[in-house]
Every structure is written in C-alpha cells, then in structure tokens.
Amino acid sequence: MSAPLLPPAPLTGPPPSPVDASDGGRPPRAFSRANLTATLVGGYLPLAVAVLVVFLPLLWMVLSSFKQPGEIVTLDLNVLPETLNPENYKVAMTTVPFGQFFLNSTIVTIVGGGIKVLLAILTAYALVFVRFPFKNLIFILILVALMVPAQLSILPNYILIAGMGGKNTLWGIILPGLGTAFGTFLLRQHFLTLPASILESAEIDGAGHWRRLWQIVVPVSLPSIATVALVTVVSEWNEYIWPLIITDKPESMTLPVGLTLLQNSEGNGAGWGIMMAGAVLVILPILVVFAMLQRYIVAGLTQGSVTG
C-alpha cells in the first residue's frame, strides 16, 4: 500500500525581494544608477530647494546688516560685505528705544502666551473629560473660530479695547488674543487618545478633575503642550498688525512695530543696512528659542498618531 500524500510544508521566512526584469531578473542594487537618480531627484533635490528658499533670505539679511550703504544700493552684486562692521547694529539700537521694545515684547509673549496655553489646557480638558450639555456644539464653534481670519475681528477689538482705555497699554495688546482655537483643537485631539482606564482609576481613588488634570493628563501630554506653547510664543513674538493698530507711542510698542518706527526714521536708501540690523535683532531671540525647541513640534504633532 502506498503512503498517503502529505500537503507541502508552508514556506517560511521573509518574502522574496522584488526583482528588476530589465536587469536579468536580479534585485536592484542599492547604489545602482536608477536608485541614486530616484533618491536625488525625489528626495535630496526638493529638500535642498526648500532649504535654500528658507535660508537664503535670512543669509542675505544677516550679510546686509554688516554692509555700508554703497554696498547695498549699487548696480554691482556684492554678496559678502567688505568688512564685518557692527556700526549698523549700534545705530539701530540707539535710533529707537530697542531696549523698551524688547521688554514689551518679552512681557507680551510670556504673559499672553502663558495665559493662552493655560486656557487651551483647561478648555481641551473640559471638552474631553467633563460632561455638560452642548459640548459638541461648542467644539464646532471653536473650529469655526479657527477658520475665520483674524483680520475680521480687528475693528471690533479696537472699538472694544479703545473704549476700555487699553490703547497704548500692554494689556490692550494681550487681551484680544487670549483665546486660542488652534491650541484647544490640538490638545483636545491628543486628550482623546489618552487611555480612559488611567483616569477611571484616579476617579475611583477619589481624585477630582483638578488633580486628574495636573497629576495625570498634563504630565503625559507634555510634548503636545510644549508644541502649543512653542507655536503660541512664536506667534505672540511676531505679532504685528494688532500691536501696530493699538499702539502709537514708543513706550508701548513691541519689537515688530519698533521696526516700523526705525524704518520711518531711516526712510532713505542709506538706511537699508540699519533696517537689516534691526530685523536681525528682532528675529534672533525667537529664532534661537525655536531652533532649540523645534523637536517638540514634531513630537507633539505626532503624539498619539501611532497605536499598538
């Protein structure tokens, strides 16, 4: 009697590598011409173009801040300054009160940004973990506020703040922008990914909303909160339109508005180097902060996107 036929054993191991039919059925080599061309054209070339688009204007601004008027307003292209003379920075800092501008921007950024982040945390927590009527409707209204251009609210805000006596004051600059729809939306989306079992255990142990927020939710959400804080700080520091409208005295101006005052005092062609020096002084502090903390943006925006 013949032995019964057994089914073939299943194949194990990784799937076979793709082959290139144009190369005799062999898999493509890592350093083949086709792979190198695809990597350069599809990866490095667009990346290099994007970096140049962002970096070249900044480089030109820094180099121009050391140039004399004859090196800027000329028919000959002079990329590098003849000498690294910091005279433009000295003139920019003495022509207008840059120290007062820097202090005002620091106060507005720290106070305004801190309150906006705090309100975003509290609002997002309430939208996720607190039961109250019309919660979804309120979130939809927040999304609508996120899509409405901020320029539409400038005139009502000006009438309100000027009527309250907030013109040429720091609180008048801070108050209209305290609500942050972006921060609330981002933190709410992250809070929804938190495991409910952690909060349920804390609730069983007798922890109220306040303890659950600051002892559980906030510590595990630091990357997302840092992202909201960093974006808020950069936005507050660079805000121009509203401080320009609500202030007209140097003692209450912020750094971006101070550049306008510097431009008015250096309105001829001889002031381009001074203007570039002033612009470098404005963006340098926030550029350093952003470069140091930009990794939190990636961590915060991707937190909760991978599950398993």
Residue 13 lies in a domain: no
Enter the tokens of residue 217.
Answer: 């939710």
pLDDT exceeds 70 at position 226: yes
| Dihedral, 166, 167, 173, 174 alpha carbons, nearest 10 | 0
**At which residue do the structure tokens 């002084």 appear?**
281
Residues with Cβ within 8 Å of residue 119, at least 6 apart in sequence = 178, 179, 180, 183, 184
Mean pLDDT, range 200-229, rounded to an integer: 85
pLDDT exceeds 60 at position 192: yes
- Taking only the tens place, the pLDDT of each residue in 69-123 is 777 777 777 777 877 778 888 888 888 888 899 999 999 999 999 999 999 999 9
276 versus 201: the higher-pLDDT residue is 276
What's the whole-number average pLDDT of the chain?
80
What pLDDT band is residue 307 in, cutting at 50, 70 and 90? Answer: very low
Cα separation, 276 vs 68, whole angstroms: 11
Residue 107 lies in a domain: yes
Which range, of 25-29, 122-126, 147-151, 240-244, averages the lowest pLDDT? 25-29
Enter the tokens of residue 240.
Answer: 């121009």
Residue 144 lies in a domain: yes
Residues with Cβ within 8 Å of residue 187, at least 6 apart in sequence = 120, 121, 124, 125, 221, 224, 225, 228
Look at the chain and report how many structural domains it folds into: 1
Query: Which residue range forms the structural domain that includes residue 119?
Result: 98-302
296 contacts 226 by C-beta, under 8 angstroms:
yes
- Taking only the tens place, the pLDDT of each residue in 162-177 is 999 999 999 999 998 8
Cα separation, 301 vs 186, whole angstroms: 8
Mean pLDDT, range 266-293, rounded to an integer: 79
Percent of the residues in the chain that have a pLDDT greater than 90, as a whole number: 20
pLDDT exceeds 60 at position 23: no
Cα separation, 236 vs 167, whole angstroms: 18
Long-range contacts of 112-116 (CB under 8 A, 24+ apart): 112/173, 112/174, 112/177, 112/178, 112/236, 113/229, 113/232, 113/233, 113/236, 115/174, 115/178, 116/177, 116/178, 116/179, 116/180, 116/183, 116/232, 116/236
What pTM value is reported for the model? Answer: 0.76
pLDDT of residue 300: 57
Comparing C-alpha atoms, which of 188, 198, 187 is closest to residue 231? 187
Residue 44 lies in a domain: no
pLDDT of residue 197: 80
Enter the tokens of residue 22.
Answer: 């144009």
> Is 79 exposed, middle or buried (CB count within 10 Å of its CB: 0-12, 13-18, 19+)?
exposed
pLDDT exceeds 60 at position 238: yes
Comparing C-alpha atoms, which of 146, 224, 239, 142 is closest to residue 187? 224
CATH of the domain at 128: 1.10.3720.10
pLDDT of residue 61: 87
pLDDT of residue 100: 92
pLDDT of residue 150: 80
Residue 78 lies in a domain: no
Residue 1 lies in a domain: no
What pLDDT band is residue 264 in, cutting at 50, 70 and 90? Answer: confident
pLDDT of residue 270: 58
pLDDT exceeds 90 at position 7: no
Q: Could you give the C-alpha distances from 232 to 182, 297, 301, in angstroms and in order?
A: 9, 12, 14
Which range, of 130-134, 135-139, 300-304, averages the lowest pLDDT? 300-304
**At which residue do the structure tokens 């961590």 appear?**
299
Q: Which amino acid is at 292?
A: M
242 contacts 173 by C-beta, under 8 angstroms:
yes
279 versus 7: the higher-pLDDT residue is 279
Residue 261 lies in a domain: yes
Residue 83 lies in a domain: no
10 versus 221: the higher-pLDDT residue is 221
